[in-house]
Structure 1
Amino acid sequence: MKQITPYLMFKRDAEAAAEFYVSVFPNSKIIKKTYWSELEIDDMKKKGFPEDQLPGAAGSVKTVSIEINGQRFEACNGGSPFEFSMGVSFFTNCETQEEIDNYTEALLSDGGEQFDCGWVKDRFGLFWQVAPAFMVDVMNGPDSELAARVSVALFQMKKIDIAKLKAVAGLAPREAESSAA
């Protein structure tokens, strides 16, 4: 197997979503777009797909391949009635409060929704966990009591406050930054 690639199924917003994600995250790019053929759309119609479940007209965007900071994603206009859920989210390993603030604000723009513990639902319905990188080390570390204290502090937050979490963890700013490396 070469790799595992998240495949994101949108009703008809794949191109707009891909362009949005590439604008939010540095080191990101659109790799390729494909388009629905007349043959494919006609076949869906013959199979009785309801009009509101068609992915668009022939010639409209079918898939958009993007890369976000080295991770490849495929976005597809499937016309599907499926919706994203918190059951699958993307964790952003932020190094600074500025990154947390910037990503949170960007992902919330134009209709996103903020949830507890740094979770954000963007305007396309995709869920993100905008959190500090050192959290992974604390949560997976050997000190389960420390992890529990940090979790309890995290439960009190919507947008993450790194300084407060570091204080609960007993980490000085430099220690927290070096533990994430």
Structure 2
Amino acid sequence: MPPITPCLWFDSDLEKAVDFYTAVFPDSSVGHVTRTPGEPGAVLAAEFSINGTTFKGINGGPAHAGFTETISFAIDCVDQAEVDHYWEALTADGGEESMCGWLRDRFGLSWQVVPVRLYELLSDPDPTRARAAAEAMMTMQRIVVADLEAAADGTDAA
């Protein structure tokens, strides 16, 4: 079966986006870059890899409607430090925070930056704890693990 590869349409800043994403995420690399014939330096298409996932991108011009939250990339973070790293990097230089761990980066792509602890708390066998964690999450932009745990435990975060 052939691989399925996400392909992202940028107006004209594909090369900047590729440089940004491969700098933010470890285990990333730039693959083949196709330059526009007759336009020295202009990038037409590129392939890059983030943590083993290959992406393709094109500079297709402004004819598209742009990225929306109907497509997002989820980052399952092992701890708060990892959440904070990706949250800060992806919202920098024009990115926008949203709710419940969602954000939009400066290129308009939507990301879900989620600690795995959230999934654990939402799956807690005690429905009261799970509900309290879910309700706490609904009030957050960036997910804060200590606040989720405090809500599940029925205490204030330290």
Residue 104 of structure 2 aligns with an amino acid whose one-letter code is: K
1:30 partnered with 2:5: no
Q: CA offsets, 1:81-127, max 9 Å, x none?
A: 33001111111111111111111111111111111111111110001
1:63 partnered with 2:51: no
Percentage identity across aligned positions?
A: 40
Change in CA separation of 1:148 and 1:4 when aligned onto 2, cut-off 3 Å: farther
Over the aligned positions, Cα root-mean-square deviation in angstroms equals 2.1
The two structures have a TM-score, normalised by structure 1, of 0.75
In structure 1, stretches of 5+ residues that fail to align are 39-56, 171-181
Q: CA deviation at 1:4?
A: 1.6
Q: CA offsets, 1:3-58, max 9 Å, x none?
A: 221111001111110110001011111112112235xxxxxxxxxxxxxxxxxx47
Q: CA offsets, 1:134-153, max 9 Å, x none?
A: 334555x4849354432211
Displaced runs of 4 or more, over 6 A: none
For CA contacts below 8 A with separation 6 or more, give which structure has more relative contact order: 1
CA contact (8 A) 2:118 2:145 kept: no
Q: Give the structure 1 partner of residue 20 of structure 2.
A: 20
Q: Which has the higher helix share?
A: 1
The two structures have a TM-score, normalised by structure 2, of 0.85
In structure 2, stretches of 5+ residues that fail to align are 154-158
Q: Give the structure 1 partner of residue 2 of structure 2.
A: 2
Q: CA deviation at 1:169?
A: 4.2
Q: 1:161 aligns with which of 138, 144, 148?
A: 144
